[in-house]
Structure 1
């Protein structure tokens, strides 16, 4: 006689997330260099932007830290935010056929795709470390714990905002067309190519509303304390992260059933 094994709701949920995660890997591996290109492409962009900034500044240091790492921290954080935001915002619509199964809910696809993008960017960071080791470039990290926490805060911000956008797309699909217009300026206002210290203090209030700028500047400060942390604060970054997560969960709880039925 066959024995029916009962599983808890949490176990079923974890299995669903893992299945969607494997499905995402399969979708990214449709060609021979699919997953590899997901890592190589950000590395090429980071290398190109870093070389350009280093050449323009004549090498040396930028506010007491090497220009290379000044750019690397900024590029990794903004790329991580934008790629995760884009992937998560499309997760609900992308996996809509799966919602016919009662075990599958949109939150499962959001978490699975968010974890996938997190692992991809961790591989990018690991690749940067390996490259620096091969070419014998010293990496100075004064406070690695703060850097790791900042990395995960940016991840939570991207998932939260992506979730709210994904729900909004179910009601107004045309919003997808303006997403790039809204996010593209982040390359220029998040402190990738400049430091807040390069701007006169009276203009800081035009930029310091951006939590990504705080994350980038605080990460540079955690790596090189001599860089300074004027104009940015952990409190502001933490509050933006918590509020984003709260509103994302609230919007999801209120509207996910109506969103997937449209």
Structure 2
């Protein structure tokens, strides 16, 4: 029998785990696809209602139409959030597979994050297609930059997910706190409220949040004339991404046996 290389074994493991995850994610609950689409639609409808009541029917927001501005921000944030929160349970959900020595806890996190990014990208494409049919400005002005920023938000979510998957495996309460933090992060990341509307003295604190840089850069790639804070810098988010990924991978190596036995 021909011996497979380490890379071939890893690819086979990832493929098998991906098929297992995608069936569990999309077929276990007959309403799974509905909820994937219903959440952003419900959030967008709610924000439109609030904006109409509070600010009237003005459709422009810093040289960007409000509905596309909100859709881009929400879906960019959801991409990060799903990678962060769903990584927390990835190790426990695949614990029965660790009896095979080829399967590592980190594989479960990587595969689940790849699946989440694939699903969120597909949903984003559906929103873009619907936007074109409804005559909404949802085609990016800078498509290559938009794809790179989308990838950057996914990588940042993956970095945080790698770290939290180990931390929550060792201390389960950390996972609970991380899931709760997803709600205030939505409010503090410029997803719903434009950061330029906030008081000037708050800007330095808001800009410490790397998600803000990713979401605002994604909007700038969709709306070329969009006005935001000049301090927005995607590289700042990448510094966080690389740090979190390195730390997360080191923790997975250090606590691999603890995660398998926990």
Is 1:8 aligned with 2:5?
yes
Residues 8-64 of structure 1, C-alpha deviation per residue, up to 9 Å, x if partnerless?
111111111111111112212024343x23532344234324533552442310011
1 CA distance for matches of 2:8 and 2:258? Answer: 26
2 CA distance for matches of 1:76 and 1:214? Answer: 15
Name 2:42's counterpart in structure 1. Answer: 45
1 CA distance for matches of 2:162 and 2:260? Answer: 13
Gapped runs of 5+ residues in structure 1? none
| C-alpha deviation, 1:175, in angstroms | 2.2
Instruction: Show the 5 A alignment for 1:1-262.
Output: 4-28=1-25, 29-34=27-32, 36-37=33-34, 39-52=36-49, 54-55=51-52, 56-57=54-55, 58-229=57-228, 230-262=230-262
| C-alpha deviation, 1:213, in angstroms | 0.6
Q: Is contact 2:141-2:223 (8 Å) kept?
A: yes
TM-aligned CA distance change 1:116 to 1:140, over 3 Å: closer
TM-aligned CA distance change 1:94 to 1:64, over 3 Å: same
TM-aligned CA distance change 1:186 to 1:120, over 3 Å: same
1 CA distance for matches of 2:139 and 2:58? Answer: 17
Range moving further from structure 2, 147-156 or 221-230 = 221-230
Cα RMSD over matched residues? 1.9
Structure 1 length as normaliser, TM-score?
0.91
Q: Is contact 2:88-2:175 (8 Å) kept?
A: no
Structure 2 length as normaliser, TM-score?
0.91
2 CA distance for matches of 1:13 and 1:158? Answer: 22
How many pairs were matched up?
258
Q: Is contact 1:88-1:114 (8 Å) kept?
A: yes
| C-alpha deviation, 1:182, in angstroms | 2.2
Q: Is contact 2:156-2:237 (8 Å) kept?
A: no
Q: Is contact 2:94-2:108 (8 Å) kept?
A: yes
2 CA distance for matches of 1:12 and 1:38? Answer: 35
| C-alpha deviation, 1:225, in angstroms | 2.8
2 CA distance for matches of 1:237 and 1:49? Answer: 29
